[in-house]
Amino acid sequence: MTSDALYHEALVRLARRSEAPRRLARRDGSATRDNPLCGDEVTFDVRVTNGRIAELGQRVRGCALCQAATTILAAAAPGLGRAELDHARAALRALLDGGGAPDGRFAELAVFTPVRAVPSRHGCVLLPFDALADALARAGG
């Protein structure tokens, strides 16, 4: 697979939209995950109300795939509980394994369809989901 197919225009646009680091001063949970194979590192801070994400802070240092996944997740995360986050991660994993594209709040994850052909890059896309799940778990969500 060529890098042009993997890093297509829509994906690069999402990566460029990645927000500047913004950590929460007051947080209920925080977690950092890294991918030692490519150097990606994602940190999420959460404030939780009634088991749902009320506010989100983030810092991402990584490749375009990781940045784009973080952008999509950060936009969709407010209001999510653990079950919805687990469902979104499972839908993304299924997409990467050759299944259909996620729908609803996470339909934009279809942008990662070309990543199916490069299993070594799946971790880059899943890393933000793992970090947010850890932060939510630490917050008791």
- Strands 40-49, 29-35: pairing is antiparallel
Interstrand relation of 52-61 and 40-49 (parallel, antiparallel or unpaired) = antiparallel
For the chain, list the domains and their CATH numbers.
3-138 (3.90.1010.10)
Question: Which stretches of the chain drop beneath a pLDDT of 50?
Answer: none
**Sign (positive or negative) of CA dihedral 56, 59, 64, 65:** negative
pLDDT in tens, 68-104: 999 999 999 999 999 999 999 999 999 999 999 888 8
Give dist(CA 33, CA 42) in Å, integer.
5
Q: Is the Cβ–Cβ distance between 29 and 138 less than 8 Å?
A: yes
Going by the DSSP 8-state scheme, the letter that residue 105 receives in this structure is: G
Task: Report which of 45, 44, 11 is spatially closest to residue 129, judged by C-alpha positions.
Answer: 44
Flag whether the pTM goes above 0.95: no
